[in-house]
Structure 1
């Protein structure tokens, strides 16, 4: 009888050549020494590639559409710089995000303003700059239409945000009765507003519900046009999944993981985790939505968009940042426990934000020694905690099966963290500085050179 313990399950991410080149370059240990703490590195070329894939999906379906980067997914300036350079829109939800987008060169007409109960400042500046405002309540519509237009400028542009019928408990959007009242209000307002269409944001990643609700919004557009309103665009929001891991690896992990594989025998179920494998992700998910036939119809969504002359707007965040960055922590302590090690790194779990959702960021971190990426045939389980006094401050509760025993001075590189992980929940707790962001020039690596880098936000002169 074999009584050998079964090693904890692994969850490797899809290989990424650009990330592998950075891991093998020797640059990360130099940066860890220079910054004296954790940092994130960013790969803007991946943003451009993901954006191109979304645009190709629209073109291949014959649909007219625009992509807006959901800025909340990552605070780095480089993504907004890429938006400005590529003519991409930005989705913002606060005065600060709006200033960032405008300050980095995104035109006001290419900005959509979302979020509930927008402040007077946000509504005022958005209207002045010609941004498209997603109206979330009748009160907001009243305030927007009643606001004076400075210097006789153009009327505010708006979408009416629809409460998804399948998610009636959502706190966002207008229900059926409110929509009727809002449409009547816009029709009475005449030239005081430009009602350009409707939008929604739907939780989850299923294709058909998105296509169904988009079809409903097209019906609303036709109704609004009869009332004399422009209504020539719809927004389907975000909700495009990222495929982090292969299907076999993901399903094997879910089948194998047990409380004993986590520090303190913490319990997780599959429902607690982000779906780290998705058979339809990113631009492929958009292709599927465009090809789907909305409920009650005969034509695909793309066909209905063409037939009605309607522009499709979308606001991906995580999907535009797929494989566009990693988070790096230096190990500053190793403590042996019963059959595994507890690593302490030089940062906190606040810089790996999945803990915010009472969950776990599951893709395996990569162990990088001063000699390069760790390689071996051993199994050395270890969890990873932050450098704070809190029991709950663990970056990884799971006992990761590393190929060699981690040592002080080694680096843990968490892959593919640009989307909602690296800065959504950051805090200078214990007066620890926020990890800086480093922008890597992939073009230099592509020709066999050493990676060139710069800080995402350069110090002010």
Structure 2
């Protein structure tokens, strides 16, 4: 059922938000253009599902590695596993020579099960359990020690013939982060490590929120100085980690500017408003941001001069354009605000599968309606199949190309990075959407399996 939105006094701007179209990879376009693929998966699964395409993860890894090679530095990539639980992503890391950043025994064992070697693991997170420290030490993982108590517990374990490999996690100056040690605590840690053969200090790391390349470069420069000081105390200190926080470019610059400059509460169901949004347009994403960091104030040259290896821990950026999320339309109704009509859909899932709501914000790349067919452009908001008024997948009146019908599929693009499983739960006893892994087959078509 289409909306008659062309009546007197009804303008497009008063009823529909500015479009925020997502960048699509070739593989995504192929999947959307296949007349049967998504419908067949939806029929087999019987509910919402996530689609993963591991070759894109491999290309993202190679993009970062190419920047390291061009800068002539020794670099290592650890995938921030918290960004997505998919086993196929970890297998792609193993196949493409990337390590994995884990923060629990579950994440550690899952990485080992997909072929990542223990020495290719970095273990992060605050106040790690003794079980995690023991397992990490047994497998030769690199452990980012977050506090002095953790260092003491690690020393007390003494269960491995080889020394525990550690980095000291430093609290950056003027940072309000709860992660890392102050200058005084780092000095105490270096004193505690003196002459201790059971622990090997391999370097330093830090955590920074946001996407400021200059701040990361300046903090990295400070860690090089820490490495050089630690060497004078007899520690190898050959590695520093600048963590993750590499931006992803979801939407074109012009569309993002149009949205952010003209955003209006009338564009949202019930006049909803948000204080902030993720920067869905990012002009220098992923590897380009790494290149900016290395170029700032001669950082790459300093790393080369002092033979320091640079570690990075991208999560979202390794998952850029590697997956999308699919819901089925279950119901549709017409609503009006200020006399302007729009469509309110209900789909067979929840906003827990679009985790931007975790930050009291909105996932903004436009969902796509499948199958594609002609119709009247229709402003559309999207609600979940729950009994919560606030459970909305899209508060924004998305300008869909036609009115959605029951049984249509709604595809949210580029959800692999943090969106699709950070917050999911079986609320209302609804099943958690499975992950479907696409595999290239002959004839430019896909085959699919469930994620391991």
* Cα distance in 2 between the residues matched to 1:242 and 1:346: 28
Return 5+ residue gaps in structure 1 as ranges.
294-299
In the alignment, which residue of structure 2 is the partner of 1:218?
224
Aligned counterpart in structure 2 of residue 343 of structure 1, from 333, 342, 345: 345
Matched, 1:328 2:330: no
Aligned ranges 1:167-182 → 2 under 5 Å: 167=175, 169-182=176-189
1:120 aligns with 2:130: yes
What's the counterpart of residue 191 of structure 2?
184
Q: Pick from 152, 160, 163: which aligns with 1:142?
A: 152
- Structure 2 unaligned residues grouped into runs of 5+: 1-7
The 1-side partners of 2:158 and 2:74 are apart by 33
What is the rounded CA distance, in whole Å, between the counterparts of 1:449 and 1:146 in structure 2?
56
In structure 2, which of residues 94, 115, 118 is the aligned counterpart of residue 108 of structure 1? 118
What is aligned with 1:278? 282
Q: Deviations 1:318-352 (Å, cap 9, x if unpaired)?
A: 00000000000000000111101110001111111
Quick check: 1:396 aligned with 2:398? no
Indicate conservation of the 8 Å contact 1:259/1:268, yes or no.
no
Deviations 1:159-198 (A, max 9, x none): 000001131x211100010011111111242x12100000
Distance (Å, rounded) in 2 between the aligned partners of 1:201 and 1:106:
24
The residue number in structure 1 matching 2:167 is 159
Instruction: Measure the CA separation in 2 of the matches of 1:66 and 1:72.
Output: 18
Detail structure 1 runs of 4+ shifted over 6 Å in the superposition. Answer: none
How far apart, in 1, do the equivalents of 2:250 and 2:237 lie?
Answer: 37
d(CA) in 2 for partners of 1:282 and 1:223?
Answer: 31
1:355 equivalent to 2:357? Answer: yes
Once the two structures are TM-superposed, the CA of residue 213 in structure 1 deviates from its matched residue by 0.2
1:34-433 to structure 2, matched below 5 A, reads 34-150=44-160, 153-167=161-175, 169-189=176-196, 191-269=197-275, 272-293=276-297, 300-338=298-336, 339-369=341-371, 373-376=372-375, 378-433=376-431
Is the Cα contact below 8 Å between 2:158 and 2:198 reproduced in 1?
no
Query: 2:96 and 2:414 mapped to 1: Cα distance?
Result: 23
In structure 2, what is the Cα distance between the partners aligned to 1:95 and 1:78? 19
Give the match for residue 3 of structure 2.
Answer: none
Contact 2:24–2:321 at 8 Å: present in 1 too? Answer: no
Query: Is residue 12 from structure 1 mapped to residue 21 from structure 2 by the alignment?
Result: yes
Are the aligned partners of 1:149 and 1:155 in contact in 2 as well (CA < 8 Å)?
A: no
Distance 2:54 2:158 in 1: 40
Please list, as runs of the form range in 1=range in 2, the aligned pairs for 1:430-441 lying within 5 A after superposition: 430-441=428-439
TM-score w.r.t. length of structure 1? 0.93
> For 2:260, what is the secondary structure of its paired residue?
helix
Structure 1 contact 240–285 (Cα < 8 Å) conserved? yes
Query: Shift of the alpha carbon at 1:86?
Result: 2.0
Say if 2:48 and 2:327, in contact at 8 Å, map to a contact too.
yes
The question of whether the paired residues in 1 share the 8 Å contact of 2:61 and 2:96 is answered with: no
In structure 1, how many angstroms separate the alpha carbons of the residues matched to 2:167 and 2:221?
16
Kept after mapping to 1: 8 A contact 2:380/2:400: yes
The TM-score, its normalising length taken from structure 2, stands at 0.95
Give yes or no for contact 1:12–1:363 (8 Å, CA) kept in 2. yes
Q: 1:164 to 1:158 in 2, by over 3 A?
A: same
The aligned counterpart of 1:297 is: none
**What value does the CA root-mean-square deviation take over the aligned residues?**
1.1
Deviation per residue, 1:49-80 (Å, 9 max, x gap)? 10000000000001101001110000000011
- Aligned-residue offset at 1:454: 0.8
Q: CA deviation at 1:148?
A: 1.9
